[in-house]
Amino acid sequence: MPASPFTCVLDVRASLGECPVWSVKEQALYWVDINAPSLNRFDPASGRNVAMPMPEAIGCFALRRSGGFVVALRGGVWLADADGTLGRKVADAPYDPAHHRFNDGRCDAAGRFFVGSMNENRDANSATLIRVDPDYAATEVLRDIMISNGLAWSPDGRTMYHSDTPAHVVRAYDYDAATGTTSHPRVFAQWTGETDRPDGAAVDSDGNYWSAFYRGGKVVKLSPQNAGGKPPIRELASNALAFLRGLAPVYRQYLNERAAHPGMLPVLMLNGHPVAEKAVGRQSATTFRPVFKIVSWTARGDLKTPPRQTAAPATNGAGAAAAPAERPDTGATRAAPPKQPDANIADDFG
């Protein structure tokens, strides 16, 4: 392999790394290893990752406005302190935990926590998407799902997107932000290829829906006018961007960082090998294995012209602006970007 300027900042070797959430307030990346199970906090400035063990599989989480987290464990939804210590259980799991668990989830703009489940046996559409309100009331929003994924909202908060991975489909719904309810379901995109399985997703400020394909080795970008299942307007073939369901938001951050800070390039690591930016859209530098690597950044002195700007400032999928992650110090002189509110923030939940 030719010499590369890229450096691995954290070789985690996670079993099933998912749900990356950047905290602007802390300048830290939180993420989960579903199977460890653990909630993790990575500080890119120090290179330190702290794993907070969980008693059972953790599908997803959200930051709480007052501090700490709301976490979706196999047995239900819990509140947790900033150090990961569980507080109280606020909602039971709406399934048999012997063969189901929570999976993808996030908050809407009002701070309601939406979390979907999955049928681990994959033998029936027995999973659901539920909404947990600040008063802890849990309400079923969608049903007849096998693996709930790809939850995101349009910038104006009027459309909700959701995917069922084994069904190769993304659906759109009219969304009432005042009540947290959906209506008028329709197919937004449909695929038939064996490896075209829409998984984690995010929406940018232009309303484009980005989906990472499980086992597909690519991220697809869909226009908000895509209704009816037309082909994606852009495909990016890269195992480093698709092996992790929740990496679509990180890729979106990478596009915005690259546009905002000329002279800086991303560090994408897979199985201990760097995946250069040139691999995105063409081919990966290595073969796929389920090993999660944190994304970081590096300066490259031989970059003579600013990178081509390819994305507008991102949103958190619920209409609020999502701030890109700060890079660790690379020695390059640059102005720090203005801090913006944290994304994926749950209401204080009492």
Q: Are 210 and 188 in contact (CB under 8 A)?
A: no
Torsion of CA 312, 313, 314, 315, to 10 degrees: -120
In the three-class reduction of DSSP (H, G, I as helix; E, B as strand; rest coil), residue 191 is classed as coil
Q: In angstroms, rounded to a whole number, what is the distance separating the alpha carbons of residues 204 and 320? A: 10
Whether residue 314 contacts residue 267, with contact meaning beta carbons closer than 8 Å, is answered with no
In contact, 211 and 200? CB cutoff 8 Å: yes
CA distance 233 to 199: 18
Region for residue 13 given its phi and psi (left: phi exceeds 0; alpha: psi -120 to 50; beta: otherwise) = left
| 199 among known catalytic residues | yes
User: Do strands 48-53 and 296-299 pair parallel, antiparallel, or not at all (unpaired)?
Assistant: unpaired
- Contact predicate 155/136, CB 8 Å: no
Residue 259 host element (H or E): helix 247-260
Asked if omega into 37 is within 30° of 0 (cis), the reply is: yes
How many whole angstroms separate alpha carbon 170 and alpha carbon 251?
Answer: 19
Question: Phi-psi region for residue 185, left (φ > 0), alpha (ψ -120 to 50) or beta?
Answer: beta
Amino acid symbol at 68:
G
The position carrying tokens 């990478």 is: 254
Assess contact for 80 and 39: CB atoms under 8 A. Answer: yes
How many residues make up the chain in this entry?
A: 350
Query: What are the residues facing 173 on neighbouring strands?
Result: 160
d(CA 19, CA 94): 21
Q: Which one of 33, 104, 164, 199 is the catalytic residue?
A: 199
Q: Could you list the active site residues?
A: 199
